[in-house]
A = this chain, B = another copy of it.
Amino acid sequence: MPVEIVEVGPRDGLQNEKALLPTSVKVAYLQRAVDAGLRRIEAAAFVHPARVPQMADAEAVLAAAPRPAGVVYTALVLNLRGMHRAAACDLAEINYVVVASDEFSQRNQGMTTAQSLAQWEQVCAAARSAGMRATLTIAAAFGCPYTGEVSPDHVAQLLAQAAPADEICLADTIGVGVPSQVEVLAQIARSAQPQASLRAHFHNTRNTGYANAVAAAANGITALDASLGGIGGCPFAPAATGNIATEDLAYLLNRSGQATGVDVTAAAQTGVWIADQLGITAPAQLGRAGHFPG
């Protein structure tokens, strides 16, 4: 089954970075992503600018985003206000987040998981009324930085309670997951919400991210979040580090015969470029090691 890489660098990649980028650089990042073959891009978060200053210009970024045929944009929203901002920006879909533990949910969104699930029902309905797909991310599904293990049964209960999504994204927000968890959670998500396609979101915090991505592809998960450069993190999760890198993931999948449509060399150059813009060293490795065969 083909695997689609969802480029989340413009959202999850940037939101934790101290260096605030000008809107023009964010638009150039989108252009480079499109040029490298990415076709589904999480371009922004519609959240409170005081909480995540990097996302304050979300509307301006999307207004200037390149819009060639076949490219769709999604954005993170955490409430109805964010959903309505998103609906004004010509997006194909929105992505809402329910955090799998109450403690982390309180810190991330200021509400319990139950409150967040109730709000998801409203956001989901409003998104559909606005003609957008509504995708649901279960954050910290593989473990919580505050309360430790998150049981698969708990994730199953959340998904059973959640309004039906167009897509369920299983997120290892803090990079603690391993392939055996991917297999279990994929089965749970498919069982709880059979109408939904499946997506996964991995951070490479403990070097398990790419192995998890391979496990996801082998277990019916058809979309994988990744960020050009492997930049990223969560402002409200301690010691969270980068997303798996688009270029390294595309190298792995392309070379395994699972064509992603991503031009790995262009993606690697963009990974180096965005890291330069941020004044950091990209966690992605392909930009340093080079493609193979050269």
Contacts and interface: CB of A to CB of B under 8 A. Distances in A.
A289 B213 contact: no
Interface in A189-210: 204-208, 210
Given A143-B293, A207-B210, A215-B214, A256 B175 contact: no
Considering the complex of A and B, which 8 residue pairs feature the smallest CB-CB distances, nearest first?
A148-B293, A176-B292, A207-B248, A180-B256, A211-B211, A178-B255, A211-B214, A210-B211
A261 to B, nearest CB: 17
Interface in A267-294: 284-286, 288-290, 292-294
B214 A292 contact: no
A214 B40 CA distance: 29
Contacts of A251: 178, 206, 208
A210 B179 CA distance: 11
Counted per complex, copies of this chain come to 2
Interface in A141-189: 143, 148-149, 174-176, 178-181
Contact of A256 (B178, B248, B257): B178
Interface residues of A, number: 39
A292 B206 contact: yes
A53 B262 CA distance: 43
A98 B4 CA distance: 39
B180 A257 contact: yes
Contacts of A204: 207, 285
